[in-house]
Structure 1
Amino acid sequence: MTMETARGTIDVSKSNSINLLHSKAVGLAGVLFLAVTGAAPMSAMLGNVPFAAGYGIGKYTPAAFLMATIVLTIFSVGYAAMASRVSSVGGFYSFISQGLGREVGMSAGIGSLACYSLFEASLTGLFAFFGNLWISQHFGINVPWIVLALVMIVVIAALAYRDVKVSARLLGIALILEVIMLLIFSLGVIFAHGATNFSGDSLNVFKVFTPVAEQTVGTVAIPAGAAAVGIFMAFWSWVGFEMAPNYAEESRDPKRIIPQSLLISVIGLGLFYTFVSWCAVAAYPTEADMVAKAFSDGVNFFLTPIQTFVGGWGYQLMSLLILTSSFACGMAFHNTASRYLYSLAREGVLPQAIAETHDHHKSPHKASALQSVLAAVWVLLYGLAYGFDDPSGQAWLGVYTLFAVLGTGLLLVLQAVVSLAIYMWFKKNGGGSMLTTVIAPLISLIVQLVLVYTLVANLATLGGTNGFARSIPYVGLAILIVGLIWGFVLKSANPKAYENIGHMVNEG
């Protein structure tokens, strides 16, 4: 049996027939590790800061991270308020369904699933690029990037098959090592330069729209940058923190833990990212040198300074940790995509078999297996279209960057929609303060829509001449429209599944 609550939701904790996840498996630390590792500090810094500085806004890159901190904190205020009232593995999908209706919620569900499925595929590109580089440097072997990408997907599938506690422990270890290494890098820069190279102007959020000027530094010809690139890369670095509500049903006291983890992660990541990116910008003698390095040799933007200021051991360790970071980040996204599949199947939108949980581990093992297949398909399709012989152009600039652009664009749209849903839900159900349920959500809605427009308007800079880059807005729009149509079809074809859309919660 299931029990309907006063708000028309279905409490799955009262059911004897629904496969449930491992209840009370993780506490606050576990949820933080699962979510923050999705943001992947090492991958975010080494993968995104060079793009932001070399192709975007140069020395104002730290300001972009500071601005993103402010914007996402405002978003999190309303998001945390909603999470304190609704506990569901569906995350965005459930919040939007309950705030704006089931059809829009269905669109959000398919969009969210596509986001996190793409993000896992994206991280295989970063892992494959740096993996190819590391193996080539140490063993003189050129391993095709597609092989490394598929190996990562298979290993993640094996680990995600087990209890969520296993993922939390592994991701926690990876996160701690990443933070320590980036702090060592930052301290190395500080001890080498003191306060000489640190400029307060680099933290001026009103200058984040100041792009790099066209210039020539030595033999490096640098075209004019685009502010949108710097801003986008900053926001892409946070992707993952918003996954915390997806672990509500597996956490202890979710209505307290999930809101706490959201605010701790967004503010903690923001301060850390701003500090590390500020140190990275200050690691070079002049702004021109810094921009030239970021533009022409972004792979070594962090690695060269750490070798100079910390030593060869720092270089070697950071080279390894970017691999573990990209792997851990991909695993975190895999876990979230699996839970969206599980949630959609549990509610009858997808085949019920996908919602089965493992008898012993209580993991969504069938949803996890399906997500592994989806990630492999994304990567293989890109490789078949553009080739498997260029790790830099295909794995890093292609799979990693372009899948991230598509996924992040979708995510920004969903964050805007969920902000509106939060406002509407509290307007209907009451509770909360004016700040958390009206002001913060509406400000977040406006800002995120501006960011989506900025991203779409600057796709040429982000993707160059790549045909896939030009199609990104249309692919994203098609995904959302398919979900919306699906919702309307279910309303007449399967009323029971339609009623369940985004309305299964866990009050246990």
Structure 2
Amino acid sequence: MSRLGTTRKAKGSSPSQPGKLKANSLGLWDVVFMAVATSAPITVMSGNVPFAVGYGVGTGVPATYIWATVILSVFAVAYVTMARYVTSTAAFYGFISRGLGRVVGLGTGYMVTFGYMVFEASIIGIFAYFGHLAFLDQLGIDISWVVFAVGGLLLIAALTYFEISLAAKILAVLLATEIAILAVMAFGVLFNGGGPDGLMPETLNPINAFQPNGLALAAPGLAMFIAFWSWTGFESTVMYGEESKNPRKIIPIATLIAVTGVGIFYIFVSWMTVAGNGAEGSIALAQSANPLDMFFHPTDVFVGHGWVLVMQWLMMTGSFACAMAFHNAASRYLYSLGREGVLPVVLGKTHRKHGSPYIASYIQTGAAIVWILGFWFFQKDPYLDVFVLLAVLGTFSLLIVQTITMAAVFNYFRKNHPEEKVWRTKIAPIIGGVGMLGVVLMMAMNLDTAAGPAASSLLFKLIPYISAVLFLAGAGQALYLRKTNPVRYAAIGHAALALDDRIDLDLEREVALELALEHELEHDLEDLEDQQELQDLQDLQDLKDLKDMEELEK
């Protein structure tokens, strides 16, 4: 009894246990803004569209966004269906752990966590690039890009220290401004009937996603990969489930908006950008020394030069918002792995007042600064090296994990919730998985081209091996824990929002308690058995004594 009492007492007093994220902090649009900010519409459009036009499928780029919108929307249907039953900041890691097992789950968990960690450093690279240009061109001040990069990372660290609702408000303002400037340009072109070739509706023909459309040779694989790349981070909606109001309703809606809604916007903006420059003009500007002119030119012609100046600043603030959104996502993956004891438990701590994963946030900031200082030390370019190379590194792992997630969703519903519709649990995961597998293959075939000059670097050549090592490290750790620490193994990817909306963050402690109680029961049974044996021996001795007394009496 004394041991059992001690165990129960330990359950109620554990100051070192991981904390909880602040619940009910985010509404629907907060989650949408957080997810869309990771896609960075102004950065994606100004960076990806010119590259795809100049070296992919020419003026057929809007068609690639149509394909990507359709395939990712199907992916999202399967993804959010599982999110209704598994609400966890672990997202991909949690889904795969439940659908394909803890070994595969932890392997992919390490891959996706690393991917999100390098994304912040990648985006802060292009933020520094835009900042350097804006200050130099408009203010005549030449500031090294590394100052913008490190300063931006420190500012993000300060802002994300507080509760998530503050970051959501900041991102909402920054995101609204970058969407607005793109919309102003696009509608300016539309209302003026387009450029020298009119509105060019033929660019929306899905077949054009596989044709040269003004180029000498088409590279549809590259163009399609770049289109899918433009949605990187949309899946982060699920990460905020534990901090959302009514997550089982909000998260699915937010995810579909972040995929389908953003997709429609991408299609429209890319179409108007091509139309505003004309067929020949689009390709010429996309292949020029300053491909950003593909957006600056129609803005100047159809809206006014003042808006070009505004667009330069918003490219800077938009990339900052994207970096902060990725910081939040990476911190929550680190937090998730920490609270389950896979990584040091201190990463699972949250701020007493703000409910933010501040320790994980510190680690993420430190890691990003190390990346930036490393590139700066070796005199690398903030755009061609920091942004492009780290983006390819993170995307390689992320797209593989997304593909595996569809297999996890299919397998999860094969065993659970048979009441769900077949379209959501069987057909959508298959179509989404096949589509994502195609994207992974296109990525593999066009990785050198996507990386540009950075393809000659050692880091680029190590990308596949880095992903493989991350997966094997996670899977190996899971196998080790399964053998040596079944309690911690049981916790892998399984901390989630309970059906009654309470967060079961103490899964490992609960499992430990169950095992302790089980051992206690076994021990008590052994004690009872020993006592019974002693009693049986005593009874035999008493019976013998009784017989001896009877013999003496006789």
Q: Which TM-score applies when normalising by structure 1? A: 0.91
1:432 aligns with 2:420: yes
In structure 1, the partner of 2:49 is: 49
Q: 1:263 to 1:132 in 2, by over 3 A?
A: same
Q: 1:459 to 1:211 in 2, by over 3 A?
A: farther
SS of the equivalent of 2:440 reads: helix
Distance 1:331 1:45 in 2: 19
Assess if the C-alpha contact under 8 Å between 2:130 and 2:315 holds in 1: yes
Assess if the C-alpha contact under 8 Å between 1:236 and 1:404 holds in 2: no
Gaps of 5+ in 2: 1-10, 503-554
In structure 1, the partner of 2:223 is: 230
Distance 2:209 2:147 in 1: 39
| TM-superposed deviation, 1:245 | 0.7
In structure 2, the partner of 1:406 is: 393
Distance 1:189 1:476 in 2: 43
Distance 2:63 2:468 in 1: 30
Distance 1:73 1:229 in 2: 21
Letter of the structure 1 residue corresponding to residue 145 of structure 2: W
Distance 2:213 2:202 in 1: 15
Assess if the C-alpha contact under 8 Å between 2:234 and 2:255 holds in 1: yes
Within 5 A, what are the aligned runs for 1:315-464? 315-385=308-378, 387-388=379-380, 394-430=381-417, 431-464=419-452
In structure 2, the partner of 1:6 is: none
Distance 1:339 1:405 in 2: 22
306-315 or 77-86, which moves further after superposition? 306-315
In structure 2, the partner of 1:481 is: 472
% same residue: 40
1:292 aligns with 2:284: yes
Letter of the structure 2 residue corresponding to residue 46 of structure 1: S
Assess if the C-alpha contact under 8 Å between 1:459 and 1:469 holds in 2: no
Deviations 1:103-137 (A, max 9, x none): 11101211111111111111111111111111111
RMSD: 1.8
| TM-superposed deviation, 1:470 | 3.4
Letter of the structure 1 residue corresponding to residue 100 of structure 2: L
1:200 aligns with 2:201: yes
Letter of the structure 2 residue corresponding to residue 100 of structure 1: L
In structure 2, the partner of 1:220 is: none
Distance 1:230 1:283 in 2: 20
SS of the equivalent of 1:503 reads: coil
| TM-superposed deviation, 1:383 | 3.4
| TM-superposed deviation, 1:417 | 0.6
Within 5 A, what are the aligned runs for 1:42-441? 42-194=42-194, 196-211=197-212, 224=217, 226-285=219-278, 287-296=279-288, 297-385=290-378, 387-388=379-380, 394-430=381-417, 431-441=419-429
Which of these two proteins has the greater Rg computed from alpha carbons? 2
In structure 1, the partner of 2:460 is: 469
Q: 1:446 to 1:376 in 2, by over 3 A?
A: same
Assess if the C-alpha contact under 8 Å between 1:54 and 1:212 holds in 2: no
SS of the equivalent of 1:504 reads: coil
Letter of the structure 2 residue corresponding to residue 370 of structure 1: I
Within 5 A, what are the aligned runs for 1:12-27? 17-27=17-27
Distance 1:197 1:411 in 2: 39
Give the number of aligned pairs: 480
| TM-superposed deviation, 1:384 | 3.5
Letter of the structure 1 residue corresponding to residue 317 of structure 2: T
Q: 1:470 to 1:197 in 2, by over 3 A?
A: farther
Q: 1:482 to 1:384 in 2, by over 3 A?
A: farther
Letter of the structure 2 residue corresponding to residue 489 of structure 1: Y
96-105 or 193-202, which moves further after superposition? 193-202
| TM-superposed deviation, 1:212 | 6.2
Distance 1:139 1:30 in 2: 34
Distance 1:83 1:58 in 2: 38
Q: 1:127 to 1:54 in 2, by over 3 A?
A: same
Assess if the C-alpha contact under 8 Å between 1:19 and 1:356 holds in 2: yes
1:500 aligns with 2:491: yes
SS of the equivalent of 2:46 reads: helix
Q: 1:359 to 1:401 in 2, by over 3 A?
A: same
Assess if the C-alpha contact under 8 Å between 2:406 and 2:429 holds in 1: yes
Letter of the structure 2 residue corresponding to residue 451 of structure 1: V
SS of the equivalent of 2:192 reads: helix
| TM-superposed deviation, 1:405 | 1.6
| TM-superposed deviation, 1:246 | 0.3
Assess if the C-alpha contact under 8 Å between 2:92 and 2:405 holds in 1: yes
Distance 1:395 1:61 in 2: 26
Distance 2:103 2:205 in 1: 42
| TM-superposed deviation, 1:234 | 1.2
SS of the equivalent of 2:142 reads: coil
Assess if the C-alpha contact under 8 Å between 2:38 and 2:323 holds in 1: yes
In structure 2, the partner of 1:3 is: none
SS of the equivalent of 1:458 reads: helix
Distance 2:280 2:463 in 1: 32
Distance 2:297 2:67 in 1: 27
Distance 2:218 2:460 in 1: 18
| TM-superposed deviation, 1:485 | 1.8
SS of the equivalent of 1:119 reads: helix
| TM-superposed deviation, 1:505 | 0.8
| TM-superposed deviation, 1:198 | 2.2
188-197 or 405-414, which moves further after superposition? 188-197
| TM-superposed deviation, 1:213 | 6.2
Distance 2:473 2:207 in 1: 39
| TM-superposed deviation, 1:29 | 1.3
489-498 or 352-361, which moves further after superposition? 489-498
In structure 2, the partner of 1:8 is: none
Distance 2:142 2:466 in 1: 33
Distance 1:382 1:107 in 2: 28
| TM-superposed deviation, 1:186 | 0.5
Assess if the C-alpha contact under 8 Å between 2:106 and 2:478 holds in 1: yes
Distance 1:48 1:482 in 2: 33
Point out which structure has higher relative CO (alpha carbons under 8 A, 6+ apart). 1
Assess if the C-alpha contact under 8 Å between 1:90 and 1:343 holds in 2: yes
